Structure 1
Amino acid sequence: MNSGTTDFGRRAFVRLAVGSLAAGTLAACAPGVARLASPPASRKALDARAFTAARRYARTRFGNIAYVEQGGGDAALFLHGFPLNGFQWRAVLPQLADVRRCVAPDFLGLGYTEPAAGQSVAPAEQADMLVSFMDTLGIGQADVVANDSGGAVAQLLATRHPDRVRSPLLTNCDTEHECPPAAMAPVIAMSHQRTYVDTWLRPWLEDKALARSSQGLGGMTFCKPGQPTDEALEMYLSPLVAHPDRTHAYALALEENSLAGIGPKLAACPAPVRVVWGMSDTIFSPAGAAYLDRTFAHSRGVHRIAEAKLFFPEEFPDVIAAEARELWSAS
């Protein structure tokens, strides 16, 4: 990575260290609501080998959608961020498989999904893809848990297809006034030049320590030392480096504000919504959490995690599982 790109990235990812959270507190979604039973302690995170073995493909007109599924009953969709894939939810799915049919797809252009030739990977198309994906799997309605650009898709899904979304649980993600976030500028600029993969992703894949440094994916979007792990970096970055055209197309599809004007539609959304937000995120500001809370008519409030950054669902799976159970109990 050259020094000019590093300086550009450092300026783009300015730390926003704000907010506080009382230790051990998990705010309830609604007073007096009985919680779903806690998961058995034996439900461990899936490692890369198990996750890969569990991967299946759903054939749709958008392409062959890679996904991993655990559990049964009412469905829940888990929507990942960029440049990640469904492996982001490997520690959450086992914790919720006793109460939901947990399904984690890979978006068009990311992970192991195989897009149809010429298929757009824009957020609106991703939302329509999810409807087709749900139809293929026989899912009429689902709870949705989403992070990062997956959160933008979740908002589009909930407003374009409100009958398909039972409840959204949104973590740090795009909002109407921060779509895309300013920190995406260098990624979009490099993607226009078709250099993003070779300038950032390939070096991170080849040098895991660099990927975990302050100039890498780890320092930018994770708060715990040693994250992301070597196997996570392999799972996330290998398909993106192998298919640079798809990767650049996904980044460029985020350049346009896909959520412009969505506010009134969010206000009309009938589903209960819970927001969980990492307050040390340098990509999305804390204002995003406040916006979602006041805009959704049926918001169940915000759980703020002081030290967490963008991809905290991977680092705090217990929080996500507890919040999901609380929200689903109230739905």
Structure 2
Amino acid sequence: MPTVDLPQGRVHYREFGPTDGPAVVLVHGLLVTGELWTQVAEALAGAGIRSVVPDLPLGAHPIALNDDADLSPRGVARLILDLLAALDLTHVTLVGNDTGGALCQFLIDADASRIGRLVLTNCDAFDQFPPPPFGLLVKLGRRAGRVRFMANSIRPKALRHSMLGYGGLVRDKLDPELTRRWITPALTDAGVRRDAARFMGAVDPQDLLDVSTRLGEFTKPVTLLWGNADRFFKLDFAHRLRDAFPDATLVEIEGAKTFVALDEPQRVAAGIRAACDVPR
């Protein structure tokens, strides 16, 4: 897997599709990696679209960042901007899910010059950062030792795939090897636990609510690809988010939950392809 050295440290990323194709950057959320997007990125590659999928420092990343890295939500948004610059990506279709959708909003608030369009799937917005009951998880994770406790508590597959783990975020069965890879760094690497705790310690719903007051300044196209069976980010939340942008379209994805990229990867890829104006 390729890496890029940024001011914050070394970041792993995956790349799919032709290097000269339209660029899509896929942003994941808390306690998962870019593998969340693999099936979507593979489908996009088949349509000639280049996808760049970083593993962000959100608790499942394979290598810890520098001790002095800014791992607040705004800091991680800046890291994504630095990644775009390092890879010389412009007119990017920026796609976010879950916590990653919040990071995309922080990013466009800071500097949208490299972004051509925005695609948000089920994600945090306004003061839902995160939505109940995940605020308790974020509060618990503000200390590195507790991050290890959280990962260890869902080490058995039955618990990883239950409502206590990732099970409530998907409609279909999870790949146990994938979810095992997601928790392993927090179990084995103190630096990863430190990074995750720093991020969760800096999460403040008021910061994202403040960003929401300026979403109307982003005049480029926005597409919302929203799983309508999500119990945490419900469809009326998507309506509210759509109305916050001046040029936004909402596409419902029937039966999908929070991790819509796992539940309906082909439909998500089709929605991104349409946003990029790339024919089937």
TM-score, reference length from structure 1: 0.76
1:273 aligns with 2:222: yes
2:137 to 187, 193, 206: 187
Is the counterpart of residue 80 in structure 1 residue 80 in structure 2? no
- AA partner of residue 225 (structure 2): V
Name 1:34's counterpart in structure 2.
Answer: none
1:240 and 1:246 in contact (8 A); partners too: no
Q: Which position in structure 2 is the counterpart of 1:221? A: 169
Quote the residue 1:115 is aligned against.
65
Matching of residue 251 in structure 1 with residue 200 in structure 2: yes
CA pair 144-281 structure 1, distance change in 2 beyond 3 A? same
* 1:151-166 to 2 correspondences below 5 Å: 151-166=101-116
Query: Following TM superposition, by how much is the alpha carbon of 1:182 offset from its aligned partner in structure 2, in angstroms?
Result: 2.5
Greater CA deviation, 190-199 or 112-121? 190-199
Distance in 2 (alpha carbons) for counterparts of 1:215 and 1:116:
31
Q: Is the 8 A contact 2:30 2:58 kept in 1?
A: no
Matched, 1:317 2:262: no
CA distance in 1, matches of 2:205, 2:215: 19
**Which residue of structure 2 aligns with residue 140 of structure 1?**
90
Q: 1:177 to 1:203 in 2, by over 3 A?
A: closer
1:81–1:147 CA contact under 8 A, matched in 2? yes
Percent of aligned pairs with the same amino acid: 24
Aligned positions of 1:1-331 closer than 5 A: 55-71=1-17, 72=19, 73-97=21-45, 98-110=47-59, 111-192=61-142, 194=144, 196-205=146-155, 207-218=156-167, 220-224=168-172, 226-227=173-174, 229-242=175-188, 243-300=192-249, 302-329=250-277
Bigger Cα Rg? 1
Inter-partner Cα distance in structure 2 for 1:235 and 1:179: 25
Q: Secondary structure at the match of 2:126?
A: coil
Give me the whole-angstrom Cα distance separating, in 2, the residues matched to 1:257 and 1:103. 30
> Which blocks of at least 5 consecutive residues in structure 2 are unaligned?
none
Cα deviation for residue 275 of structure 1 reads: 0.5
**AA in 2 matched with 1:171:** T
Shift in alpha-carbon separation, 1:264–1:250, aligned structure 2, 3 A: closer
Distance in 1 separating the partners of 2:145 and 2:236 = 31
Contact 1:124 1:258 in 2 (8 A): no
Please report how far the alpha carbon of residue 194 of structure 1 lies from its aligned counterpart in structure 2 after TM superposition.
Answer: 4.6
Offset of residue 231 of structure 1: 1.3
How many angstroms does 1:198 deviate by? Answer: 4.1
Cα gap change, 1:264/1:248 in structure 2, threshold over 3 Å: closer, same or farther? closer
Q: Distance in 2 between matches of 1:235 and 1:315?
A: 19
Task: Tell me how far 1:197 sits from its aligned partner.
Answer: 3.0
Judge conservation of contact 1:65–1:113 (CA < 8 Å) in 2.
yes
Instruction: Return the letter of the residue paired with 2:260.
Output: F
Deviates more, 1:126-135 or 1:250-259: 250-259
User: Do 1:180 and 1:255's aligned partners in 2 also have CA atoms closer than 8 Å?
Assistant: no
TM-score relative to the length of structure 2: 0.89
CA contact (8 A) 1:126 1:153 kept: yes
